[in-house]
Structure 1
Amino acid sequence: MDELPIGRRVAYWRGRRKMSQQVFADRLGKSKSWVDKIERGVRRLDKFSVLYEIADILQMDVQLLLGKDPERRTDALNCIEQFEVEEIRAALERYDSVSAYFDAAPCPPPLADMSKAVTHAWLTYQYGRYGMLTRALPKLLRDAQAADAAYGGDQAQRAAHLLAQVYQISSSVLRKLGESELAWLAADRSIAVAQRADDQLLAGIATTRVCNALAAMGRARPALELNVTIANRLAPGGRNDTSPERVSVYGMLLLQGAMAAARIGDTATVEDLLDGAHEAAKELGGDQNHYWTSFGPTNVELHRAAAAVELGDGGRAVEVHLLKIRDAAFDALLPERRAHHLLDLARGYALIGDVANAGEMLLRGDRLAPSEIRCRPIAHMVMSDVLRRTRGAPPSLIAELAEHMGVGV
């Protein structure tokens, strides 16, 4: 990006923000012709006052607009930016294992250190600290790939297991931040590596990441079919064990299948899969976090509410929240799960026209895990809806959060 003329960078970031030239010109107080000439390099952009105004409209650091690395404030919440996406993309495009076949593998980190780093990354994700995680992912990917390429013998499966987890973490956070195609690539890599790790359950939970990415790209039906197929193969009982780990992975496959079914409006399948997940959750007795699933009775009800939202039934989502989810169990979940549910609940309230409660859910989610609200495109859509439908000036806390999110009326 830094080698592009500044006009091309303006055009690039305007496109990333999904603004037409006319909308951008209107917000800037300029003509569409002026914007077009700037972007084509016909007219120079050399006034700092205008540069800062453009950067503000595009919700970005002016240094990035100038082609320089932005200065990061330690006290600021940073969502992912394009240069970070490209770093992650570059790490995903490495093929250390193939290179190692022809030559010596790169010097890998000790597996004990890698294991600690992977656990830390999972917790960073489950606490909703997406900006911190995306900045750590490129190095974590490179280290895990180097370990997978270098270690053999008894350590090979452990190294593959860690790399598969790093791919899953990458897929999960990239999907949250709207990078669905990269999320699919990372999840697809995870399935292949999990097979080398000889762990069916790891491959099973990787399947849910693939299906989530497929659904985000508008391919909900194949996501539904794949989730159900793998759930049937991993189902507890028969020749399979009934360990809590297997029950958790099986339950999550059913839940993600239900979400995919909701995307295509298949209410009967949604209910069938949710009922199956509910029975699996009863086997566990409580919410647990095997394979980083957070699966259990409460998570089933969170997905029941989320599926209702996808089906367009906001009233049902609110009803599930009020009648089915116990406060103590909900408060015991990790921040990402709770904030995600509050975002779903905000969508549910918006569907029934209760923008006051929709805004309140966004505020509660922001207090729990700011990145879940401020960084996710779907949250921006909800906030825009709240602002648009609020009569008069929005409450001060809503206005402040909207400003932090970069969302205008």
Structure 2
Amino acid sequence: MDELPIGRRVAYWRGRRKMSQQVFADRLGKSKSWVDKVERGVRRLDKFSVVYEIADVLQVDVQLLLGKDVERRPETQNCIDQVEVEEIRAALERYDQMSAFFQAVPHSPPLAEMHKAVSHAWLTYQHAKYGVLARMLPKLLRDAQAADSAYATGAEAKDAAHLLGQVYQIASSALRKVGEHELSWLAADRSIAVSQRAGDQLLAGLASFRVGSALLALGRVRPALEVNVNIANRLAPAYEPAHKGERLSVYGMLLLNGAMAAARIGDSATVRDLLCGAEQASLELGGDFNHYWTSFGPTNVLLHRCAAAVELGDGRAAVDTHEKLDVVGFNALLPERRAHHFLDIARGYTQIGNIEKASEMLLEGDRLAPSEIRCRPLAHEVLSDVLRRTRGTPPAPIAELAEQMGVGV
């Protein structure tokens, strides 16, 4: 997009922000005609003050409007910035499968290399290294798409499709973390179709889980609840021993995600039923495992009990459950899951008015996995709430964290 005139870039970002020309003009204090002329290149933008104002309204770095590389500040290195989001979007917009229908794919990495790269990407996500993941995702998406096309008709077709399905899910999860919910939904939806070609019901179940998570983030709560519960019912563990642990894990995560959706609409009875079902699955599983990268088990069920209580506005129940957590089991979980819980329980403490403990939880999460706290819009909201309700000057660690996150004290 660098070679486009600035007016076209303005039009592009206005469209991305889903603003009409009239709304955009109103926010700038200009006329709709002025905006139209700028976007068509009839009117020049020759004042930097106006360019900066446009960038502020569009919530983009001014360098993007000027067609220049964004200078990344050191504290944003572990987050996903706008440039990286656009690179991921560009990779998702490719349709290599259709090109392969007409001609052979020129290059595809060996599947053995792809397996290693996908496993590395999952671990990077579960260690909450979102900036690192964002920088590897565009190439990983292109490679996985090329492999899926290259092996589409061979004996390795299902293996290649399986890998692409996983990459779409990784992208969906990472994009949802940083607030790119529409793009997260697109990647998750892509994973469903690819997972079906891979012939793996559990991968398709997890793709449905990602779709449900994206829908929930978009505020589409009832569809999120329905997709999780419907697929969970179809994946209810059968009696065959093969892959029982994996099936229990995917089934349990669907129930947990459904419980979070039910909590969002205040349906406490459904929350209770789904959490009980997940707890039963975790007990049958017999421990905390990371089958299919789910981190499912009794400990994760308890973390979701806390999170669901927070969504229901019952901070006291969330805190009580948190205080009963098995420390050994909790510490064995990967950093993303633990830091996510610290963010949830910080919200719980704010609900009962314990701002000091809420601050401690945010700092614990930041020490464990900085990206989970510093990169997530939800964490910014919680920190803002903590600062607003802190009497007097905030403690130095919280004030420092707020400064690093760009949250006003």
TM-score (norm 2): 0.87
- Which piece of structure 1 moves more, 50-59 or 186-195? 50-59
The equivalent of 2:188 in structure 1 is 187
1:234-291 CA distances to partner (integer Å, 9 max, x unpaired)? 1112578561111111111111111111111110010001001001101121110000
After superposition, residues 193-272 of structure 1 pair within 5 angstroms as 193-238=194-239, 243-272=244-273
Q: Specify the alignment match of 2:337 in structure 1.
A: 337
CA contact (8 A) 2:237 2:247 kept: yes
- Is the CA contact (8 Å cut-off) linking 1:105 and 1:150 kept in structure 2? yes
Give the counterpart letter for 2:155 in structure 1. Answer: D
Matched, 1:346 2:352: no
Pair 102,8 (structure 1): closer, same or farther in 2 beyond 3 Å: closer
- Equivalent-residue separation in structure 1 for 2:203 and 2:384 (angstroms): 38
User: 50-59 or 297-306, which moves further after superposition?
Assistant: 50-59
Contact 2:70–2:83 (Cα < 8 Å) also in 1: no
Q: Distance in 2 between matches of 1:136 and 1:8?
A: 25
Question: Which is further off, 56-65 or 393-402?
Answer: 56-65
- Matches of 2:57 and 2:218 in 1, distance apart? 27
Distance 1:7 1:361 in 2: 44
- How many angstroms apart in 2 are the aligned matches of 1:58 and 1:94? 26
Confirm whether residue 83 of structure 1 aligns to residue 83 of structure 2.
Answer: yes
Structure 2 residue matching 1:392: 3-state secondary structure: coil
Q: Give the equivalent residue in structure 2 for 1:402.
A: 402
Determine if contact 1:298/1:330 at 8 Å carries over to the other structure: yes
Give RMSD over aligned pairs: 3.1
Relative to structure 1, the CA distance from residue 10 to residue 338 in structure 2 (aligned partners, 3 Å threshold; closer, same or farther) is farther
In the alignment, which residue of structure 2 is the partner of 1:380?
380
For 2:345 and 2:109, the matched residues in 1 are separated by: 43
Q: Is the 8 A contact 2:78 2:129 kept in 1?
A: no
Shift of 1:359: 1.3
| Partner Cα distance (2:277, 2:63) in 1 | 52
SS in 1 for 2:266: coil
How far did 1:355 drift? 1.4
Residues 364 and 307 from structure 1, CA distance in 2 versus in 1: closer, same or farther, beyond 3 angstroms? same
Q: Which runs of 5+ in 2 are unaligned?
A: 20-27
Distance 2:281 2:174 in 1: 26
Look up the match of 2:298.
297
**1:77–1:371 CA contact under 8 A, matched in 2:** no
Identity within the alignment, %:
68
| 1:339–1:364 contact (8 Å) kept in structure 2 | yes
Long gaps (5+) in structure 1: 19-31
CA shift in 2, pair 1:356/1:52, >3 Å? farther
CA distance in structure 2 between the aligned counterparts of 1:56 and 1:132, rounded to whole angstroms: 27
Equivalenced residues, count: 392
* Counterpart for residue 26 of structure 1: none
Once the two structures are TM-superposed, the CA of residue 72 in structure 1 deviates from its matched residue by 4.0
**Partner residue in 2 for 1:365:** 365
| 1:107 positional shift | 1.0
Calculate the TM-score normalised by the size of structure 1: 0.87
